Amino acid sequence: MSSLHALVTGASAGIGAEFARQLAASGCGLVLTARRTERLEALAAQLRERHGVDVACLPADLADPRAPAWLHEECARRGLAIDVLVNNAGYGVTGSFLSRPWQTHADFIQVLMTAPAELCHRFLPAMRERGRGRIINVASLAGLVPAPAGHTLYAASKAYLIKFSQALSLENRAYGVHVLACCPGFTHSEFHDVTGTREQMKGMPRWMWMDAGAVVSDALAAVERGESIRVSGRVNRAIKALVKLLPDRLGERLVAGGGKNFRDST
């Protein structure tokens, strides 16, 4: 019989690594995937030693359109049934839309939009057959507020994940499968180092930031409750509520005024 595992994408650092830690602490076996093999293997060794769980590492680049099918096939070949799917892999592309070549945007869309949808499509049928499954798509508060200039596709991709998760949740509740869009705000991770915006982020007040551990524990509790959208933290939930009350044009002006201090929009 296949053993039940959680598949976590983008598991080599940040929120993805924290999902791996907390799931392992609960006794869940893991399948970890990311591009950085050495980091994956180091995390896997740590989790095996600390929690005594089975951890498989399947390094892959989700910008490759073949990667989702390969991950599904490799899990099946190894007899690893995926009970929890965490679509966490992601990054940001700085600058305005036309300042980057199309292939950069195409890769971004593949990683943040196409790959999560395909992984859901491939792993969901078995979850429905077993009568239980959990899918967490890591979106962002950015998908719920007006989008600033720069990082042009980022908020759009997160809004897509939120709506996708909401519909998928409604379609699969009757089968025992819970689907959640996890929507953190500013979170301590390597995200801004990778995008080269760490200096801009130093201007953000401390109360705007959350710890990755708090984001993950909140998301895991929310998916068990059957929520379809979870905004992490009271400050971020207050921002979401406030934005709903503002006229669109005013919201856009506020974002345009403040966003330029924290974004590279060249």
Q: What is the mean pLDDT of residues 60-80?
A: 98
Q: What is the mean pLDDT of residues 126-132?
A: 97
For residue 155, pLDDT beyond 60:
yes
pLDDT in tens, 235-251: 888 888 888 887 777 76
CB 255 within 8 A of CB 147: yes
For residue 201, pLDDT beyond 50:
no
For residue 120, pLDDT beyond 90:
yes
Confidence band for 190, pLDDT divided at 50, 70 and 90: low
Per-residue confidence (pLDDT) for residue 72, from 0 to 100: 98
- Is residue 154 flagged as an active site residue? yes
For residue 124, pLDDT beyond 80:
yes
pLDDT in tens, 3-53: 789 999 999 999 999 999 999 999 999 999 999 999 999 999 999 999 999
Per-residue confidence (pLDDT) for residue 242, from 0 to 100: 82
Confidence band for 81, pLDDT divided at 50, 70 and 90: very high
Percent of the chain clearing pLDDT 70 (strictly above): 85
Candidates 91, 154, 160, 175; catalytic one: 154
Residue 175 to residue 149: CA distance in whole angstroms: 41
Residue 146 to residue 205: CA distance in whole angstroms: 20
Per-residue confidence (pLDDT) for residue 262, from 0 to 100: 46
Per-residue confidence (pLDDT) for residue 250, from 0 to 100: 73
The closest of 145, 217, 134 to 179, measured between CA atoms, is 134
Nearest 5°: CA angle at 5, between 4 and 9?
155
Task: Classify strands 80-87 and 55-57 as parallel, antiparallel or unpaired.
Answer: unpaired
35/186: higher pLDDT: 35
Q: What is the 3-state secondary structure (H, E, C) of the chain?
A: CCEEEEEEECCCCHHHHHHHHHHHHCCCEEEEECCCHHHHHHHHHHHHHHHCCCEEECCCCCCCCCHHHHHHHHHHHCCEEEEEEEECCCCCCCCCHHHCCHHHHHHHHHHHHHHHHHHHHHHHHHHHHHCCEEEEEECCHHHHCCCCCCCCCHHHHHHHHHHHHHHHHHHHHHHCEEEEEEECCEECCCHHHHHCCHHHHCCCCHHHEECHHHHHHHHHHHHHHCCCEEECCHHHHHHHHHHHHCCHHHHHHHHHHHHCCCCCCC
Confidence band for 204, pLDDT divided at 50, 70 and 90: low
**Which residue ranges make up each domain of the chain?**
3-259
Q: Which CATH class is domain 3-259?
A: alpha beta
Tally of CB atoms within 10 A around 73:
11
pLDDT in tens, 214-238: 999 999 999 999 999 999 988 888 8
